[in-house]
Amino acid sequence: MKVYIAGKIRSESEREFLEEIDAMCKSLGFDSFLPHRDVGIAKSVDDVQKIFEGDIIKGFRDVDIVVAALDGLHVGAGTAWEIGYAYAKGIPCIGIKTDERVKDAFEYLSAILIGSMQIVESLPELKERLGEFRESKL
């Protein structure tokens, strides 16, 4: 089973959080796709085609579930796009928002994002949901 890990990747702390999610996924037996690790980070508009093809065309190949990091004042544009793409393809998504409760972040997350996925508020809760998903598919 393969998990696509979506989230903001501009700061070192954002990447470290995604890598923590990645390690958890691997501990549960998932293969993973982590965009900044597996494709890289766009440094200029010249990198757009490489990033899009790597992240979306190749990265979403054979994905069973998406985990989306939602921390911060706003969800990243790429993250929001990946959530929508997964939804359109019928791929389930679990959001994780650890910096505030979902009901307190309603105006930042939007009804569309909240309505499109289950959102957990901690890494242990994410681990539990991923384990349940994995068991349901075996």
Write out the DSSP string of 9-54.
-SSHHHHHHHHHHHHHHHHTT-EEE-HHHHT----SGGGHHHHHII
pLDDT of the residue at 110? 86
CA dist 52 and 30 (Å) reads: 23
Q: According to the model, what pLDDT value does residue 8 have? A: 94
Task: Tell me the whole-structure pTM to 2 decimals.
Answer: 0.93
Domain of 122, in residue numbers = 2-137
Q: Would you put residue 67 in left (φ > 0), alpha (ψ -120 to 50) or beta?
A: beta
Quote the number of domains for the chain: 1
CATH no. for residue 34? 3.40.50.450
> Which pLDDT score is estimated for 103?
83
> What is the block-wise mean pLDDT of the chain (138 residues), using blocks of 10 residues?
95 95 97 94 92 93 97 91 96 96 82 93 97 90
Predicted local confidence at residue 30, as pLDDT: 97
> How much is the pLDDT for 60?
94
Say if residues 83 and 109 touch (Cβ distance below 8 Å). Answer: no
